[in-house]
Amino acid sequence: MNIVVCVKYVPDAQAERTFNASDNTTDRENVDGLLSELDEYAVEEALKIVEAGEGEVTVLTVGPDAAADAVKKALQMGAHKAVHVNDAAIHGSDAIATSLVLAEAIKKIGAETAVDLVVTGMASTDGTMGVVPAMLAERLGLPAVTFASELTVEGSTATIRRDGDASTQTITATLPALVSVTDQINEPRYPSFKGIMAAKKKPVEQWSLADLGVDAAQVGLDAAWTKVESFTARPPRSQGEIVADEGDGGAKLAAFLTERKFV
Per-residue pLDDT of the chain (263 residues; tens, 9 = 90+): 999 999 999 988 777 777 878 888 887 777 788 999 999 999 999 999 999 988 999 999 999 999 999 999 999 999 999 999 999 999 999 999 999 999 999 999 999 889 999 999 999 888 888 999 999 999 999 999 999 999 999 999 999 999 988 999 999 999 999 999 999 999 999 999 999 999 999 999 999 999 999 999 999 999 999 888 888 888 888 888 787 888 888 888 898 889 888 88
Residue among 133, 108, 104 nearest 8 (CA)? 133
Instruction: Report how far residue 76's alpha carbon sits from residue 198's, in angstroms, rounded to the nearest whole number.
Output: 7
Looking only at the bridges linking them, the beta strands covering 168-174 and 204-207 are: unpaired
Widest distance between CA atoms in the chain: 79
pLDDT at 13: 74
Where are the chain's structural domains? Answer: 2-223
- In the prediction, which pLDDT does 153 show? 96
**pLDDT for res 95:** 94
Q: What is the pLDDT of residue 85?
A: 98
Q: What is the C-alpha separation between 237 and 229, in angstroms, rounded? A: 25
Q: E-assigned strands of 1-47? A: 2-7, 9-11, 33-35
Side chain identity at residue 83, one-letter code: V
CA distance 114 to 130: 26
CATH of the domain spanning 2-223: 3.40.50.620
170/259 Cα distance (integer angstroms): 49
Prediction pTM value: 0.86
Total residues belonging to the chain: 263
- Give the C-alpha distances (Å, rounded to integers) separating 119 from 62, 78, 89, 195, 229: 15, 15, 26, 21, 33
Q: What are the residues facing 246 on neighbouring strands?
A: none
- Cis link prior to 176 (omega < 30° from 0)? yes
